[in-house]
Amino acid sequence: MTTIPERSDIPDDHKWDLSPLFKDDAAWEVLFKETEGKVSGYKAFQGRLGESAEVLREAIDFDLSVNRALERLYTYAHLRNDENKTNATYDGLFQKAVNLYARIAQASSFFTPEVQAIHEPVMQGFLDDKALAEQRFFLEKILRYKPHTRSEEVEELLAMSAEAMGAPSRIFSQLDNADLRFGTVKDNKGLDHELSHGNFIAFLMNPDREVRKAAFDTYYAAYENHKHTMGASLSASIKKDLFISRAKRFDSTLSRALFSDDVHESVYTNLIDSVRGGLAPLFDYLKLRKSVMGVEKLHVYDTYVPLASDVDFFMDYDEAAEVTLDAMAPLGEAYVETLRQGLFGGWVDRYENRGKRSGAYSSGCYDSSPYILLNHDPKSINSLFTLAHEAGHSMHSHYSRTTQPYIYGDYTIFVAEVASTLNEALLGRHLLEKYRGNKTMETYIINREIDNIRGTLFRQTMFAEFEMRIHAMAAENKPVTIDTLTELYGSLLTDYFGETLEIDDILKLECLRIPHFYSSFYVYKYATGISAALDISGRILKGEDGAIASYLNFLTLGGSQFPVDELRTAGVDMTRPDAVNNTITHFGHLVKQLETLLS
């Protein structure tokens, strides 16, 4: 029987190198104590922010220096913690970092209300002062929050509650990543394999339907056994968001979530309306899949297996990295060389180990590499695309942090998914060229692109509608229980997949296993991101003049503009439905291509 390896069994060159952040844990403790000692320094500025532009600039610089150190501490602690969720030492470091974050937020809680209390003519003079030229947009964003900022006392109390407010997410993460056990599944050779988050999708891609069904049933049985706990944690997270939005005088949790990016609610609702109105090509695809597979009823565990049945895909990390680099060639030599140094030079934690956080991400801070966590499965083409996806995030971080000052070094998630998904689009086109004339591989790749859009546009939009509706239920003081969660989710599954998919009752528990629901109204950005990315990549691949330059410029903007404005510099206006509708049209064309190849 194959088992998940321990962290100590993973070769060092397959792990990320965190030594540029801190030489060792002792160095982390030194900076922790230094930063902890600076918390009291905020008192020197309290009540003085309106004295002059110079004093305000000094206070901003102090706050940024403290937070810059905090981000280094937090980044190291959370990366180490994610290496093995059962490692108590790094769980302790992570908790210390989170606690310090809460104390810094409490100590600096006077900052925003005090800035907002500065008399308007005085503040206008500050904004026009050369001493605050670099900080102008930073201050303008603070001033936007004036209607949603409470008294200093209330803001301090809210800041004090931050650590406790994070409990639902932490409880879910520990249960889902450390405590949950999924048992074993037999493959089509009769060998037992330990089932995990990391290999679940690989099992669903198995050509043997009995193996797929067994993996699906076994996986969801774990959620069935813990559904009341997970339902309670998700409900608590939703109510936490509702409390904060009301405390901050927002009309809803949705309006609060969109406010920081200056995204109008119509962008969110138009996405749902466009996708709901464009489900026909999705139904066509599922009908085609059902016909090709020759099944009487199509279940969700039938929707991951490639329709090109005789492809034996295998690509270890090194080869996957080389293919990804080749695919990024349209973005220029400098982009590719920087990415090469990262992928082979310590950015990436490559393979699954016991206790490691599931999934994949790109993470870091202004003073670190843009690290990538993977659970690479050589037998899954999805792992290849995941590598390209996370590489897009990391290169976006690289360009932003090497171009912008610290104050604007981070970009928002709204634009983040553009860079990652554009890389996936370039990889898809590269693979079609690589395997041109190989009908089986062409089928395999187009099928994979269809499934990517299905998962990123249609499925994430369904998630977005679920969030919107469940948060609305909480706002209307309706109970948010395991029954209401699964009943709503089940109805959306029926709406989004029609009569083309058999909805297994246990699939309703899927809403309990989505980590992003603990970062409310996050998932819609995947859907808008893929729409914008396909628009930009399409122009790049067509050789449109200026397309590459405008995209690379977009990557450098960091947080220096609001995200909708940044996308306009890359040629996409997300306040209009065009990009989403064009993506649905593109999906329809791909389905027709696939139908032709399969016939």
Gap between the Cα atoms of 549 and 577, Å rounded: 25
Gap between the Cα atoms of 573 and 267, Å rounded: 10
Gap between the Cα atoms of 256 and 528, Å rounded: 18
Report the DSSP beta bridge partners of residue 185: 193
In the block, tokens 């069994």 appear at 9
Between the CA of residue 190 and those of 5, 186, 580, what are the distances in Å?
21, 5, 45
Collapsed DSSP state (helix, strand, coil) of residue 24: coil
Collapsed DSSP state (helix, strand, coil) of residue 194: strand
Closest CA to 303 of 534, 503, 552: 503
> Counting every residue, how long is the chain?
599
Q: In whole angstroms, what separates CA 85 from the centre of its chain? A: 19
479 contacts 194 by C-beta, under 8 angstroms: no
- C-alpha triplet 27, 29, 34: angle, nearest 5°: 100
DSSP string, 322-391: HHHHHHTGGG-HHHHHHHHHHHTTT-EE-S--TTPPSS-EEE--TTS--EEE----TT-HHHHHHHHHHH
Gap between the Cα atoms of 237 and 228, Å rounded: 14
Gap between the Cα atoms of 425 and 392, Å rounded: 11
Give catalytic status of residue 296 as yes or no.
Answer: no
Closest CA to 226 of 178, 194, 173, 180: 180
Gap between the Cα atoms of 22 and 419, Å rounded: 28
426 contacts 339 by C-beta, under 8 angstroms: no
Q: In whole angstroms, what separates CA 527 from the centre of its chain? A: 11
Count Cβ atoms below 10 Å from residue 138 Cβ, excluding itself: 15
* Token pair in block for residue 427: 């990889």
Gap between the Cα atoms of 25 and 148, Å rounded: 40
- Of residues 114, 390, 417, 465, which has the active-site annotation? 390
Residue numbers annotated as active site? 390
